Chains A and B, each alone.
Chain A
Amino acid sequence: MNGYNDYFSGGKRHVLVADDEFINRELLENILEDEYDILKAEDGEMAYEMIKQNRNTLSLILLDLMMPKLSGLELLACLKGDSELKGIPVIVLTSDQQSEVESLKKGAADFIPKPYPQSDVIKARISKAIELAEDRQIISATERDELTGLYTSEYFFRYCELFDKFYSTIDMDALCFDVDHFHVLNERFGIAVGDEILKSIAERLRTIFTDSDCILGRKTADTFLVYCPHREDYEEVAVRASQVCEELPAAIKIRIGVYASCDKKLVIHSRFDRAKLAADKIRNNYSAFVSFFQEALIEKELFAEKLVAEFPKALSEKQFQVYFQPKFDVRGGKPVLASAEALVRWVHPTLGMISPGAFIPLFEEDGLIARLDEYVWRGTAEKIADWKTRLGISVPVSVNLSRAEMYDPKLVELVECIAIDNGITTKDLYLEITESAYVRDADQIVERVKDLRTHGFFIEMDDFGSGYSSLNMIAELPIDALKLDMKFIRTAFEKQNDTRMISIVIDIADYLGVPVIAEGVETKEQYLELKKLGCAIIQGYYFSKPVPAEEFEKFLLEKKVSEG
């Protein structure tokens, strides 16, 4: 059993003395301070707070049963009911035999009577209780990973916890080493070669982290964990670790996620989750080898999780609102309202207006986007119908279709139903399909788009110029308009007014016989230039930002007046 003591020689375990009597605390501290670092609490509540704060570093609690605020037995019940605290052994201090039995039944490891017995007896009981608790933790884990000889993850985590109990004040880093695309390596060269690589990495880590206060483990296939005193030379560590790969037939990259000077109040797993999060941030980034955890990472992830979790409620409470941005036909002398684009806005009851950029990508990942899109399509169709009956005028409004929806065999039926349900026609609802949707499974997508067109829908190809379509494919595209990627407009006007790319796109549109729509147009200068180049339709802040339906009505009414 002395293995741990040898390993962690020099450090002291931490023991909390919880007793409301000053004299009793002093006596115990005097007896124990040579072997342990002593923390002291003078009532039950204070003890509970200190235990929670030091849960990762506390080896034992000496607990008086009669204390103000929270009694010893109440505190014991709190500890045993808390999965993070119940592993800390508790020795009860009491002068009543009745209480001794009761405490043991409630989970105390042992008791020490009052008046205190000889100091040797006290020390022996404490040391025994700690030993038993630590043994129980360690025994349940298999110690070594067969392949690399490093600690298995379960054992690794236990060992880190134990280390903290001895050296709670050392500034520690949690590291996660990952091999980029390890599975590819396994597939290309076979598992035997993959295993050799893992062994070499383990060997290399041993040479880098040689001090006895570094703990090394292997988590899963290609994930290695290291718990070590804080250091600054991680770039250098990355270089040394990557040297392992130099003899390999294929270039591989080892990336390191560092959670530096980790917060010891966090349970050990969470500290390494943070290191892993940092490591994953530079996956596929070939120039970055080290990534440090920042609080912002976790906040971003938590925020994303919150948005996804709140989606169903937001949908049922109609927190999503459909906004409309007008599109103007600029081919004539005066711009004329031609159509509009429906854009979703999330008006959150506490967070206020959330940008679509913050939630659309999340919902696309989770597949929630289909439900949100359908909501928008229905909302849009309702508005068009409302304008028709109430104002006697409407314009077609385009809605967005995501890539995933293009694979839905019921798509055509669904959109058509929405139109029919609201008493409008398929001519009133334009569909914007992003160019990148066409790139993969082009044939299937093209068939679906053709189907939509035969049902009367007008198809705008969105973000044109961003999706790397082949010229070959473009010639056969079943579309009714090309919508210029906003980035074109930005680059064209930001950098030395180079509009040549826009001209090319307009030429392509001419060849296809469809109009070009420019979005993201913000200034008069951009508007005039695009008009001169031959853009048919202009959308953007120059004319109007996306506005709520009521506000959009003014554009409709103006149009109605001008058309007499």
Chain B
Amino acid sequence: MLTVDALKEFGADTEDGLARCMNNQAFYLRLVGKVLEDRNFAALEQALSEGNLDAAFGAAHSLKGVLGNLSLTPIYEPVKEMTELLRAKKQMDYQPYMQVIGEKVAELRRLADKA
């Protein structure tokens, strides 16, 4: 189960995130749980594998907004950097980014799944 302390340890700026949730902890944690269901992670991966940078940008941009609003810094930062590169349609290997993002999402999932 997610806790604010666990998220803080994960690297999230929980104070900032909670403030956007009017300091309602349960509400904040519920929304963070929802991030794991966001289909844009899969959409981003798919678009990159197809070399479709426009679609990849759309997915990354959406994720950036959500992650920023919940202050999930460890995932937000690489997504934000990627978004800018994709906006500029930079042809490069995005795998290192995807790897970091994948690891951080997995870590968050483990926190959520922990009994």
Q: Which residues in A have some Cβ–Cβ distance to B below 8 Å?
A: 20-24, 26-27, 30-31, 64, 66, 95, 114-116, 118-119
Query: What 1/0 mask marks residues of chain B from 56 to 72 whose CB sits below 8 Å from any chain A CB?
Result: 00100110111011110
Instruction: Give the shortest distance, in Å, between A520 (CB) and chain B (any CB).
Output: 75
9 A-B pairs within 8 Å (CB atoms) are namely A20-B62, A21-B62, A23-B66, A23-B69, A23-B70, A24-B65, A30-B22, A66-B62, A95-B68
Instruction: Give the shortest distance, in Å, between A99 (CB) and chain B (any CB).
Output: 11
A119 and B20 contact, CB distance less than 8 A: yes
Q: Which residues of B contact A119 (CB under 8 A)?
A: 19-20, 22
Bound-state CA distance A114–B61 (Å) is 11
Known A21-B65, A115-B68; contact A27-B21, beta-carbon cutoff 8 A: yes
Bound-state CA distance A330–B44 (Å) is 95
B21 and A23 contact, CB distance less than 8 A: no
Query: What 1/0 mask marks residues of chain B from 4 to 46 whose CB sits below 8 Å from any chain A CB?
Result: 0000000000001001111010010001001100100000000
Q: Which residues of A contact B16 (CB under 8 A)?
A: 115
Bound-state CA distance A343–B68 (Å) is 79
Bound-state CA distance A21–B65 (Å) is 9
Bound-state CA distance A23–B71 (Å) is 12
B66 and A95 contact, CB distance less than 8 A: no
B31 and A27 contact, CB distance less than 8 A: yes
Q: Which residues of B contact A116 (CB under 8 A)?
A: 20, 69
A27 and B62 contact, CB distance less than 8 A: no
A26 and B31 contact, CB distance less than 8 A: yes
3 closest Cβ contacts across the A-B interface? A115-B68, A114-B65, A23-B66
Q: For the A-B complex with A23-B34, A24-B69 known, give 6 more contacts whose Cβ atoms are closer than 8 Å.
A: A21-B62, A24-B66, A26-B31, A30-B22, A31-B22, A116-B20
Bound-state CA distance A20–B20 (Å) is 18
A30 and B24 contact, CB distance less than 8 A: yes
Chain B contact residues: over half helix, strand or loop, or mixed? Answer: helix
Bound-state CA distance A118–B22 (Å) is 9
Bound-state CA distance A95–B61 (Å) is 9
* Nearest residue, chain A, Cβ from B30: A26
Instruction: Give the shortest distance, in Å, between B60 (CB) and chain A (any CB).
Output: 11
Which of B35, B64, B66 counts the most A-chain CB atoms under 10 A from its CB?
A: B66
Q: Which residues of B contact A95 (CB under 8 A)?
A: 61, 64-65, 68
* Nearest residue, chain B, Cβ from A33: B22
Which bracket fits the contact residues of B?
Answer: 20 to 34
B68 and A21 contact, CB distance less than 8 A: no
Q: Which residues of A contact B34 (CB under 8 A)?
A: 22-23, 26
Which of B20, B58, B64, B71 counts the most A-chain CB atoms under 10 A from its CB?
A: B20
A30 and B21 contact, CB distance less than 8 A: yes
Q: Which residues of A contact B20 (CB under 8 A)?
A: 27, 31, 115-116, 119
* Nearest residue, chain B, Cβ from A26: B31
B61 and A30 contact, CB distance less than 8 A: no
Bound-state CA distance A64–B62 (Å) is 10
Q: Which residues of B contact A26 (CB under 8 A)?
A: 27, 31, 34
Q: Which residues of A contact B64 (CB under 8 A)?
A: 95, 114
Q: Which residues of A contact B22 (CB under 8 A)?
A: 30-31, 119
Q: Which residues of B contact A118 (CB under 8 A)?
A: 19
Which of A27, A95, A116, A118 counts the most B-chain CB atoms under 10 A from its CB?
A: A27
A66 and B69 contact, CB distance less than 8 A: no
Bound-state CA distance A64–B65 (Å) is 10
* Nearest residue, chain B, Cβ from A65: B61
Bound-state CA distance A31–B70 (Å) is 14
Bound-state CA distance A31–B24 (Å) is 11
Bound-state CA distance A31–B23 (Å) is 10
Query: What 1/0 mask marks residues of chain B from 70 to 112 whose CB sits below 8 Å from any chain A CB?
Result: 1100000000000000000000000000000000000000000
Instruction: Give the shortest distance, in Å, between B14 (CB) and chain A (any CB).
Output: 13
* Nearest residue, chain A, Cβ from B35: A23
Instruction: Give the shortest distance, in Å, between B46 (CB) and chain A (any CB).
Output: 15
Bound-state CA distance A116–B19 (Å) is 10
Contact pick for A114, options B19, B35, B68, CB 8 Å: B68
Q: Which residues of A contact B61 (CB under 8 A)?
A: 66, 95
Bound-state CA distance A495–B38 (Å) is 82
Q: Which residues of A contact B65 (CB under 8 A)?
A: 21, 24, 64, 95, 114-115
* Nearest residue, chain A, Cβ from B40: A21
A27 and B69 contact, CB distance less than 8 A: yes
Bound-state CA distance A21–B61 (Å) is 11
Q: Which residues of B contact A20 (CB under 8 A)?
A: 62
Bound-state CA distance A21–B71 (Å) is 15
Q: Which residues of A contact B62 (CB under 8 A)?
A: 20-21, 66
Q: Which residues of A contact B21 (CB under 8 A)?
A: 27, 30
* Nearest residue, chain A, Cβ from B21: A30
Q: Which residues of B contact A31 (CB under 8 A)?
A: 20, 22
Instruction: Give the shortest distance, in Å, between B105 (CB) and chain A (any CB).
Output: 15
Bound-state CA distance A501–B23 (Å) is 93
Q: Which residues of A contact B71 (CB under 8 A)?
A: 115
Instruction: Give the shortest distance, in Å, between A294 (CB) and chain B (any CB).
Output: 49
Bound-state CA distance A20–B69 (Å) is 14
Bound-state CA distance A20–B19 (Å) is 22
Bound-state CA distance A23–B68 (Å) is 11
Q: Which residues of A contact B69 (CB under 8 A)?
A: 23-24, 27, 114-116
Q: Which residues of B contact A30 (CB under 8 A)?
A: 21-22, 24, 27
Bound-state CA distance A22–B21 (Å) is 14
* Nearest residue, chain A, Cβ from B24: A30
Bound-state CA distance A475–B97 (Å) is 109
* Nearest residue, chain B, Cβ from A98: B87
Instruction: Give the shortest distance, in Å, between A124 (CB) and chain B (any CB).
Output: 15
* Nearest residue, chain B, Cβ from A94: B65
A66 and B19 contact, CB distance less than 8 A: no
* Nearest residue, chain B, Cβ from A20: B62
Instruction: Give the shortest distance, in Å, between B58 (CB) and chain A (any CB).
Output: 6
Instruction: Give the shortest distance, in Å, between B114 (CB) and chain A (any CB).
Output: 22
Q: Which residues of B contact A27 (CB under 8 A)?
A: 20-21, 31, 69
Instruction: Give the shortest distance, in Å, between B102 (CB) and chain A (any CB).
Output: 20
Bound-state CA distance A27–B30 (Å) is 11
Q: Which residues of B contact A23 (CB under 8 A)?
A: 31, 34-35, 38, 66, 69-70
